[in-house]
Structure formats: structure tokens, C-alpha cells
Chain A
Amino acid sequence: EPEVTQTPSHQVTQMGQEVILRCVPISNHLYFYWYRQILGQKVEFLVSFYNNEISEKSEIFDDQFSVERPDGSNFTLKIRSTKLEDSAMYFCASGGQGRSPLHFGNGTRLTVT
């Protein structure tokens, strides 16, 4: 069964550094999402992406964040200057046409020191 894959599984970075989290969505999917989960808290929506542009973003998704689909297969989340509070699990998801469900990757654990 096709799945969403995310790399790396764990990323450690220093405060102020830029990080890029990578995702390969399911190949025929058209809708792409990033979520995050701070340890012990709810899964929070960050941004949705369709037709090569952001369709919706949350308050969390400020100017430090950006997303890109640089080619036909990858979907990336960039954090320009990481802060301690960016430490979290980041999940990528993709969805197909109609009422098809979103499928999630197993996440990247980002640790900012």
C-alpha cells in the first residue's frame, strides 16, 4: 500500500539555524499538508497546499515557515531561523480526490537546542 514518507526521522539543530523537513506524498495525491505536535499536546494544523500554492495556513505558520513542492514528488517545510519552541514532531499528509482520507507520514522529530 502506498505511503507518505518523511525524512529525516530525527533532526537536531541549533537555535537560529535553518532546517528543511522533507516529505514524499503518495504519488497521485493533489493536496498536501503539514502538521506539528509538541510533546504531550494535540496535533496542530500548520498549512495546506494545492495546485502549487498555499490554500490555507494557521496562526502558527508565520513568516519563519515556508513550503515548497520543488519537483513532482517532494514536499518540503522550511523553518528559516529555528527557535526552542519549534521543537516538535512534524507530520506531512497528503490527500487525493473527493472524500478520500488524508494519509500521514510517521513524522520528523525536530529538536532545537
Chain B
Amino acid sequence: DAKTTQPTSMDCAEGRAANLPCNHSTISGNEYVYWYRQIHSQGPQYIIHGLKNNETNEMASLIITEDRKSSTLILPHATLRDTAVYYCIVRVNRDDKIIFGKGTRLHILP
């Protein structure tokens, strides 16, 4: 699996958009980008995934660059409940395990 690089931590003011970057410069053509988050000691929670087109769901938007070497997860209106560790992961096969890195610890500031 391709390796991803994320900032260790980020702050965002409540009500503002949180933009979490991820680099995956060695991603291959059949690998998808997935985002998960883990709120203090709970199980990892799926957020969104994409291949090359931008994606949006009720939780977030995923912007993938044209060369697919990086992506940004956008939480449009961050709340205190969005405080969590966010993981950017690349995955290819349907039965592929997910390998977690250290992720980005996002602090939402009141």
C-alpha cells in the first residue's frame, strides 16, 4: 500500500471549515483514498472515500488533486464533536486491510 503523510495536529475554530491535507505521492492507479476518524477511544469511523473525482457526503467533502498525489478532507462547519484523530488511508482491493498511520489530531476551538 502507498504511504500517506499527514500533519501531526491542527486547530480549527468552531463553525469554520476544517481542511485536513494528506500526501500520497506514491499512490497507484487502482488505489482509493479513504478517510476515517477516531473520537477518543471509540472505534474508527468511516467518513468518505474517492478515486479521482471529488466526493461529498453528509459528513465531509474530499478533494483529490488531478495527479492524485494529495487530497484534502473538508469538514464544512466544524463543531466541538469533530475533535478527533483523522486518518488518511489508501487501499486497493476489496478485501484489503486498512493500515492506520498516526493521523492528524484535529482540535476544534470554541
Contacts and interface: CB of A to CB of B under 8 A. Distances in A.
Are the chains A and B members of one assembly? yes
Interface in A90-113: 91, 93, 95, 97-107, 109
B97 A98 contact: no
Contacts of B100: 35, 42-45
A28 interface: no
Contacts of B98: 33, 45, 93, 102
Contacts of A107: 41-43
A31 interface: yes
Interface in A23-57: 31, 33, 35, 42-45, 48, 50, 55-56
A98 B96 CA distance: 10
Contact of A48 (B38, B41, B95): B95
Secondary structure call for the B interface: loop
Given A89-B41, A107-B41, A101 B97 contact: no
B49 A99 contact: yes
Nearest to A100: B94
B95 A31 contact: yes
Secondary structure call for the A interface: strand
Interface residues of B, number: 18
Interface residues of A, number: 28
B34 A91 contact: no
Contacts of B45: 104
Given A56-B97, A97-B94, 7 more contacts: A42-B100, A45-B98, A95-B94, A104-B45, A104-B46, A107-B42, A107-B43
Interface of A: 4, 31, 33, 35, 42-45, 48, 50, 55-56, 89, 91, 93, 95, 97-107, 109
